[in-house]
Amino acid sequence: MAKHSIRILRTTALALALCGTAFAAPVTTEGTGVGKHGDVTVAVTFDGGKITAIDVKSSLENPILAKGVFTDMKDAMVRYNSADVDVVAGATLSSEALRTAVKAAAEKAGVALSGPVVVAKRTPKIPEKNIYDVVVVGSGGAGFSAAITAHDAGASVVILEKMPTVGGNSLISGAEMAAAGSWVQQKLGIKDSVEQHFQDTMKGGDNLGDPAVVRTMVEGALPAALWCRDEIGVEFVEDNLFHFGGHSVKRSLIPKGATGSEFISKFMAAAEKRNIPIVTGMKAEELLRDADGRVTGVRAVMDGKDYVFEARRGTVLATGGFAANVDMRTKANPFYGAGFKTTNMPGAQGDGIVMAEKIGAAVANMDQIQTYPMCDPVSGAIELIDDARFEGAILINQEGRRFVEELERRDVMSKAILAQTGQYCYALFNQKVEDRAHAVQNHQDEVAVFSRTGILYKGETLKDVADHFKIPLDALEDTVKKVSSYAKTGKDLDFNYRGKFEDLTTGPYWIYRGVPSVHHTMGGLKINPKAQVLDSNGKPIEGLWAAGEVTGVTHGSNRLGSNAYADIIVFGRIAGEEAAKAVAK
């Protein structure tokens, strides 16, 4: 019996050893990937060679834009035991960061994951026909402003968004908002007027804007900003303003964090409080009309299936411009075709313009396309650290010389940059400028990424930064000496800088490289001051309103920085109010 017992014990031990993996305790390892705004670190738990949990330990990604990445995409990875699941549209870099992080964790754990997986679409249960008073197409600042205003005027409202996340370009912008006579201007003792804002805007657009529409925007800018602050809960910096190119004075309100996340997160909360439905992944394809030609809603598509959203009172187009549509850009103005990246979200395809044109809407200024002068050479996105330029950072070329006024119009600056060696330039500033701009402080995520990719460098001396980017030191020192003297006299003898320079003779220094990238399409639908879309005869198309970059008569040839948020909020509110009070059909 003893010999048999020993044999049984040995056999059992051998069996356990051979299949130890199956009985091993769960193991958790960490992995890291690089997203749009820095490292994404996850802790992944494996049990029996399968992913059982993914915990995002740290991330600097935009929480709104990356929401689907850290919910739906993450859940799909667990469900299919694969890191190669579908990326989230509009959040590709965040998606790739999660993929890389999970793969790294699996490698550490010695786990082989499944291959690429096509995740089955989960279509929400939506009726094929839906009836509301007002249908808003687009969920950026204009769309949210229209929907909330319409709701508060007593209308039932729905927001349709073709992308999986809300916000559009409004989310990823700096979101500064021009408003003359603001409470911050009063606090800082800055004299300004609506008329001055009007003249700056008309001049900045080479008088191609519709004066009546422009006047409506500048008159409504401060009330719109106060509405955002007092009704929506947007927080603004209370002791500073930005001075964007083309504005004669500092008048641009700065949201908390200096990004659109402050606006969009508060808009989302306001819409949720009001129970306004937001249907994402729903692409409007066609404007529907009755026998009299009145717009009665839209036909939209989700996952290949048609849906009708009927609007008893009005439809509002807030679909943005066409900066991400290379073909449409090329047709409008060949110079801005495939040779340029864009700062825009991929959803900026000109959908609203195309839909409205098909029913006879008139367009204007379609060839007027704007580039933002300082953008990431890799992705094309705006360099938010460029906030430093509004507080004294200087632009220099590869030869170490200034070549344009740093607060010039965006189109003038962009053309000047494209004329330099390599068609790029650098922005240079020191701690004194940073103490005013807080560009590094506000955009630590960007600083980390740009430092890693080599776009940005911090050095203690001018020699450090000159050596890093191979800029002639003697020329750079001469440029800094000149600018520092201009800081003392208050007069820029080279380019008549309209802001306030700082003494740049002492470090530390930050220097970053930038290129122009397509940023705003000024052209779009013709509207009147009531935000009604006009036909080729200048008459309103009944039942149809538009607001924001989908329109084309506000900014003329060149949009002044921070006029975009004034535009989208002012006309979003007007469109929502006008649509809500239209007679229901």
Active site positions, annotated: 410
Backbone angles phi, psi at 190, to 5 degrees: -95, 125
188, 254 Cβ separation under 8 angstroms? no
In the structure encoding, which two tokens stand for residue 423, read together?
Answer: 């068609």
**CA 292 to CA 279: how far, in whole Å?**
29
| Residues listed for the chain | 585
Return the percent helix, strand and coil in the chain, to nearest 5.
40, 20, 40
Element (H, E) at 302: strand 295-302
**CA 250 to CA 192: how far, in whole Å?**
9
- Residue 305 pairs with which residues in a beta bridge? 302
**CA 328 to CA 281: how far, in whole Å?**
22
255, 235 Cβ separation under 8 angstroms? yes
With b for 16 or more beta-carbon neighbours within 10 A and e for fewer, the 457-476 pattern comes to bbbeebeebbeebebeeebb
**CA 177 to CA 193: how far, in whole Å?**
15
In the structure encoding, which two tokens stand for residue 7, read together?
Answer: 């044999």
Q: Is 253 helix (H, G, I), strand (E, B) or coil?
A: strand
With b for 16 or more beta-carbon neighbours within 10 A and e for fewer, the 188-226 pattern comes to eebebebebbbebbbbbbeebbbeebbbbbbbbbbebbe
**CA 314 to CA 156: how far, in whole Å?**
11
Cβ neighbors of 248 (< 8 A, separation 6 or more) are 196, 199, 200, 498
162, 351 Cβ separation under 8 angstroms? yes
Backbone angles phi, psi at 158, to 5 degrees: -135, 145
User: E strands within 96-208?
Assistant: 129-137, 157-161, 177-178
My answer on whether omega of the bond before 508 falls inside 30° of 0, hence cis, is yes
469 vs 439, 479, 508, CA distance in Å? 21, 16, 16
User: E strands within 138-209?
Assistant: 157-161, 177-178
Residue closest to 419 by CA, chosen among 404, 433, 430, 439: 404
